[in-house]
């Protein structure tokens, strides 16, 4: 998949590709909403691999709206983009899946002076409580919410999901190396589920100085080619 990205500012990274692979494990179909689409990478990859997906996305930053629409057109993927802040999005329809690689750096982290990076990375723009409330209102009963987040905030994620009556049914932690603490967590939550939480084997990013075999397989399956430019 060919993906255009801005010359400077936020670009997708391995987190997005790991999330795409995690989402694919659930064979999504029906109406899918990609929240905070950026250049469109996660949603477009999911739609490419799952022909029964009807893809929509929401993105508030103008520069990324240009890139995501361009990437959808170049890769010939049907795409409806809501050009607004997710929290302001109209609630006129419901979704089978909501997917997201949201901004998750906490308020205490030193903030970037780059406006694009600031909006894309820091959770002040999408606080957990408001984020999850909005998701719960947009999901159909017994539907799916699949996203990634900072692993150190997993406790907060569990609390806020419980408040909107959503339950984590699958979780996978991502570790930079086998002897390092988890840096990312990928979560599959459902509304109305009574299933016990399934904790997946950890995803290890690197073995020595090289990507692990699992990660190499994800990169190969994603098959992305990034081009940085100005549109």
pLDDT tens-place string over residues 160-179: 999 999 999 999 999 999 99
Give the model's pLDDT for residue 110.
52
d(CA 22, CA 2): 21
The answer on pLDDT for 119 being more than 50 is: no
Residue 116: pLDDT band by 50, 70, 90 thresholds?
very low
The answer on pLDDT for 209 being more than 90 is: yes
Please name which of 228, 225, 215 lies closest in space to residue 20, comparing C-alpha atoms.
Answer: 215
Give the model's pLDDT for residue 123.
55
Give the model's pLDDT for residue 97.
98
Give the model's pLDDT for residue 214.
98
The answer on pLDDT for 221 being more than 70 is: yes
Give the model's pLDDT for residue 150.
96
Q: What is the pTM of this model?
A: 0.92
The answer on pLDDT for 115 being more than 70 is: no
Give the model's pLDDT for residue 205.
98
Give the model's pLDDT for residue 7.
85
Rounded to an integer, the average pLDDT of 1-16 is 90
Q: Which domains does the chain have, with CATH numbers?
A: 2-147+215-229 (3.40.50.150)
Return the sign of the alpha-carbon dihedral for residues 112, 118, 121, 127. positive
Q: Which residues lie below 8 Å from residue 80, measured CB to CB, with a gap of 6+? A: 55, 56, 57
Give the model's pLDDT for residue 231.
65
Residue 104: pLDDT band by 50, 70, 90 thresholds?
confident
Exposure string of 185-199, with b = 16+ CB inside 10 Å and e = fewer, is bbbbbbbebeeeeee
Residue 149: pLDDT band by 50, 70, 90 thresholds?
very high
Rounded to an integer, the average pLDDT of 112-138 is 73
C-alpha triplet 125, 54, 57: angle, nearest 5°: 15
> What is the rounded average pLDDT for all residues in the chain?
92
């Amino acid at each position: 998949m060919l993906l255009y990205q801005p010359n400077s500012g936020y670009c997708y990274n391995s987190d997005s590709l790991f999330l795409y692979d995690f989402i694919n494990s659930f064979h999504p179909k029906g109406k899918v909403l990609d929240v905070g689409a950026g250049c469109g990478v996660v949603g477009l990859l999911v739609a490419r691999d799952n022909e029964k997906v009807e893809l929509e996305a929401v993105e508030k930053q103008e520069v990324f709206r240009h890139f995501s629409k361009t990437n959808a057109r170049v890769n010939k993927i049907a795409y409806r983009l809501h050009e607004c802040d997710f929290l302001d999005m109209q609630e006129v329809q419901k979704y089978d899946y909501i997917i997201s690689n949201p901004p998750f750096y906490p308020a205490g982290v030193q903030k970037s002076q780059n406006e694009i990076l600031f909006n894309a990375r820091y959770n002040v723009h999408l606080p957990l409580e408001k984020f999850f409330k909005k998701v719960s209102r947009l999901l159909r009963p017994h539907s799916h919410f699949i996203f990634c987040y900072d692993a150190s905030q997993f406790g907060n994620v569990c609390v806020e999901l419980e408040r909107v009556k959503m339950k984590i049914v699958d979780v996978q932690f991502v570790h930079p190396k086998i002897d390092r603490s988890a840096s990312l967590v990928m979560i599959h939550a459902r509304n109305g589920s009574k299933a016990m939480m399934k904790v997946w084997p950890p995803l290890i990013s690197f073995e020595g100085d090289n990507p692990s075999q699992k990660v190499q397989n994800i990169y190969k399956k994603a098959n992305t080619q990034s081009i940085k430019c100005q549109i």
